[in-house]
Amino acid sequence: MDDWTPHRRDDGELLGWIHPSGDDWVGVDILGRTVSDAVDWLVAEEILEEHGLAWLADPWMLEGEVLEDDRDPTRVRIVEVTPDHDGIQGRIVVKVDDYGDMTRPASEPIVLAWPIPDRLRPPRAGDPDGFTL
């Protein structure tokens, strides 16, 4: 990450990084995922701007044992993303999705390594959605 340049919105919020790839540049989002091919610097900036951060609020699926009933995968929400910084390992913190139910007890946070591990992914067709029994 030494050659990664942070790219921020106008308000200072980190959107990701741009790093060299030969004579071109590659955009990487806040979760550490590559979001562009090797392109011109300005194109990499545009792609990061378009990619934005709104998708962080979407539901995600966490595979592997999460709950006592061992559902697999489990629907979660991202509550924190802290990239690697100054030699300190980053982390991604998720919680089991409560579907906005304020009366439900808060779930324990689940701490994952950064960049995004394979077991955390966007929902796919056939995943449990919490609304269908």
CA distances from 52 to 15, 31, 34, 48, 133 (A): 6, 12, 13, 6, 34
- What string of pLDDT tens digits covers the 133 residues of the chain? 789 999 999 999 999 999 999 999 999 999 999 999 999 999 999 999 999 999 999 999 999 876 555 567 889 999 999 999 888 999 999 999 887 777 777 788 999 999 999 999 999 998 877 666 5
pLDDT of residue 68: 58
Q: Give the pLDDT confidence score for residue 1 in this predicted structure.
A: 75
Q: How does DSSP assign 13-73, residue by residue?
A: -EEEEEEEETTEEEEEETTS-B-S-SB-HHHHHHHHHHH-SGGGGS-EEE-S--STT--SS
pLDDT of residue 67: 57
Task: Name the residue among 94, 77, 83 with its Cα closest to residue 33.
Answer: 83
* Extents of the domains making up the chain: 5-52, 58-121
